Chain A
Amino acid sequence: MQEKVVVKGLYKIFGPEPEQALALLDQGLSKDEIFEHTRTTVGVQNAEFAIREGEVFVIMGLSGSGKSTLVRMLNRLIEPTRGQVLIDGQDITQMGKQALIELRRSVVSMVFQSFALMPHRSVLENAAFGLEVSGMHKEERHARASRALETVGLAPYADSYPDELSGGMQQRVGLARALATEAPILLMDEAFSALDPLIRTEMQDELVRLQSTQAHTIVFISHDLDEAIRIGDRIAIMEGGSIVQIGTPEEIVTRPANDYVRSFFYGVDVSKVFNAGDIAADDVLTVFERTGVNLRAALAQLRDRGRTLGVVIDRGRQYRGMVSINSLAAAAARGAGEEPRWEAAFIGEVAPTPADAGLSDVLGRVAGSDYPVPVVGADGRYLGIVDKTILLQTLDKTT
């Protein structure tokens, strides 16, 4: 996948003498010490990341951690003090005024927490704002704005004014305004934070749906882990202007870099974070069902390795069933004469669960069974098992 936005060694110092503050930062002084010495504020320090095309990259952090500053350096609403921002390989920090305006008109658009709609313009005119500014003719820009309004489900409100709409609808207009320019990159600074929880979830789902049909590269600022997990492909966590961790939602939750990161998911419902596929471990012995491997061979294999359980898969790695030393021995004894069939050895009460099953579903099954639960992908391929130990470890990390 192609890297759409690459940020290298990006700094923002607010204040009159940024050079001095940068020098002190290089010497390893902290944000607070630098404020003591120079009265300048470190907004962002040494940000490094690469966002892939079509990715939803969420930046999380407490208030004042530099999220807004960072995202505004990606379209230079805030001028970086040092470092590079490469968009499609081009360093935008070196762009002249006109090139920057072009970039904002056609490559990077933005959605704001406060909506920032123009109250004197109708919904349609608001949605067409970016196109109007870039000099597009009225008919064409209204046609494109109408399409954007349709995408967000607001076509019937084209002639209304922003103050006649609810908050959620206003933000849909904000989204339509950003979509109308057909810019491939969307910056969304706490775009849903001002909305009611119910509307917020609705908008998140809408964004996910939108991504599945017309994938934008999205930088989404949030201070809400639930939101980050719902929509983010990867999450970057910021603390005091620095990025302390970047990873997939699972990585962040299972291997938090420090207590600050961990603090975000106290009280988060893990069953929302994980599904069965995320935590399945393939540390159970797998036995291939093929000619030359029979029950007795499998039994020997298990005893050899000191295991009590095994999973039988076929050559396409399709899950067949679970066996134990006991079930294998019993099946082998019964079918003394002819070659016993594998089915005879499968443990009856074990059924596989799909990888996208929520943890809350798996939890009940694992708790009520003597055996681990095998997990299979959508194509029936065996992925691993979830047992009590794995579940407890997962739950323990988040409480």
Chain B
Amino acid sequence: MANDNLQIEIPVGEWVEAGVDWIQVNLTGVLDGISDVLAAVIDAFEGTLLAMPPLVLAGLIVGLATWRVGWRFGLFAVAAMALLFGMDIWDETVSTLGLVIASSLVALAIGIPIGIAMARNDSVEAVVRPLLDFMQTMPPFVYLIPAAIFFGLGKVPGAIATLIFAMPPAVRLTNLGIRQVGEEHIEAGQAFGCTGRQLLVKVQLPLAMPSIMAGINQTIMLALSMVVIASMIGAGGLGNTVLTGIQRLDVGLGFEGGLGVVLLAILLDRITQSFGTARRGAAPSGLARLKRLFAADGPGASGRG
């Protein structure tokens, strides 16, 4: 059957527009509420970080790197801090860091409970899993459009796009981690008289922790990549530096912004990894995924636990 004879058009675009209109008209209150909460969270982190004397913050980061990873990595952190100061992109870096932390925290606060619900109930998994697949195959730029439509321009829509984009690994790996807990551990928990809740808290979550931590690491790394992209709708930070570089065809500026992102990525990756996967290794590093994201064809291939 030849397709060119069929002139049927399915107006997906129109439907989406209709839906968006409806939401804007009927859910204004909800949208405002979300916006206020997010703005408060972002302010709390970004504001605090920016208010700190740069040297104190840099010292904290170096200390964390040394304590969690080792003195070599501590030295790397010192060099990274010096470079960020030297390139005069400290404020942008801190702004990006604040936005990453704020959106990651919200993403985790929503994503981990969803992952737990998914692991404990097969019907929840059946509904959420295709949703996650859908979310992860969407190119990241697509998230910017509804975020900008509903929340305008600025940090809040940037954070919204970011947290939605970054949430799937946390959900997926929490679910996976809990489901991977061995039958014998579940049996042991039950045999000694655990209630359902005790089984979750005392057996499933602790044993799923390496996987959950890997999910947290990936969420943070995805958040970083998205925050950079979200500068297109006014989220500011290092992404803005890169964007300005592109607009002015200023290779140097663009490179400096990019280098800032890479340094931040390495720091975040190693430090968050050290909290969960260090003892067991094996979990794929978020940095590897981030490289893939920027190197090739979008995040479609990422996040499969």
Instruction: Show the binding face of A for B, using Cβ within 8 Å.
Output: 72, 75, 77, 101-106, 108-110, 112, 114, 116-120, 129-130, 132-134, 177, 181, 187
Contact = CB atoms under 8 A, between A and B. Distances in A.
B207 A119 contact: yes
Given A77-B187, A133-B202, A120 B192 contact: no
Given A112-B187, A116-B184, A116-B188, A101 B195 contact: yes
Contacts of A112: 184, 187-188
A133 B188 CA distance: 12
A58 B185 CA distance: 24
B198 A133 contact: yes
Contact of A134 (B184, B193, B206, B207): B193
Interface residues of B, number: 18
28 contacts: A77-B187, A77-B190, A77-B191, A101-B194, A103-B193, A105-B193, A106-B193, A108-B191, A110-B187, A110-B191, A110-B192, A112-B184, A112-B188, A116-B184, A116-B188, A118-B188, A118-B203, A118-B206, A119-B207, A120-B207, A120-B209, A129-B188, A129-B202, A132-B202, A133-B194, A133-B202, A177-B192, A181-B192
Interface in B178-213: 182, 184-185, 187-195, 198, 202-203, 206-207, 209
Interface string B94-122: 00000000000000000000000000000
Contacts of B188: 110, 112, 116-118, 129
A117 to B, nearest CB: 8
A182 to B, nearest CB: 13
A302 to B, nearest CB: 63
Given A118-B202, A118-B207, A133-B193, 16 more contacts: A72-B187, A103-B193, A104-B193, A105-B192, A105-B193, A106-B193, A108-B191, A116-B187, A119-B207, A120-B206, A129-B188, A129-B202, A130-B192, A132-B202, A133-B192, A177-B192
A104 B199 CA distance: 14
Contacts of A103: 193
Nearest to A100: B193
Interface in B190-238: 190-195, 198, 202-203, 206-207, 209
A99 B191 CA distance: 13
Nearest to B194: A133
A106 B206 CA distance: 25
A41 B202 CA distance: 33
B124 to A, nearest CB: 22
B94 to A, nearest CB: 35
A322 to B, nearest CB: 56
Nearest to B187: A77
Per CB-CB distance, the 5 closest pairs between chain A and chain B, nearest first, are A105-B193, A104-B193, A116-B188, A130-B192, A116-B184
A279 B280 CA distance: 57
Contacts of A117: 188
Contacts of A114: 182, 184
A130 B193 contact: yes
Given A119-B207, A120-B206, A120-B207, A104 B191 contact: yes
A15 B184 CA distance: 21
Interface of B: 182, 184-185, 187-195, 198, 202-203, 206-207, 209
A77 B184 CA distance: 11
Contacts of B207: 118-120
A103 B191 CA distance: 9
B192 A129 contact: yes
Most B CB atoms within 10 A — which of A101, A108, A117? A101
Contacts of A104: 190-193
Nearest to A98: B195
Contacts of A102: 193
Given A133-B198, A133-B202, A118 B193 contact: no
B84 to A, nearest CB: 37
Nearest to A113: B184
A51 to B, nearest CB: 18
Contacts of B195: 101
A77 B193 CA distance: 10
A130 B194 CA distance: 8
Contacts of B189: 133
B51 to A, nearest CB: 38
A117 B209 CA distance: 16
A109 B202 contact: no
B209 A101 contact: no
Nearest to B206: A120
Contacts of A110: 187-188, 191-192
Nearest to B195: A101
Contacts of A106: 193
A109 B191 contact: yes
A129 B199 CA distance: 11
B206 A109 contact: no
A108 B209 CA distance: 30
A305 B209 CA distance: 82
Contacts of A77: 187, 190-191
Contacts of A118: 185, 188, 202-203, 206-207
- Highest count of chain A CB atoms <10 Å: which of B187, B189, B192, B207: B192
Contacts of B192: 104-105, 109-110, 129-130, 133, 177, 181
B5 to A, nearest CB: 48
A108 B190 CA distance: 12
A339 B209 CA distance: 92
A120 B181 CA distance: 13
A102 B187 CA distance: 16
B185 A116 contact: yes
A191 to B, nearest CB: 12
Contacts of A129: 188, 192, 202
Nearest to A115: B184
Contacts of B198: 133
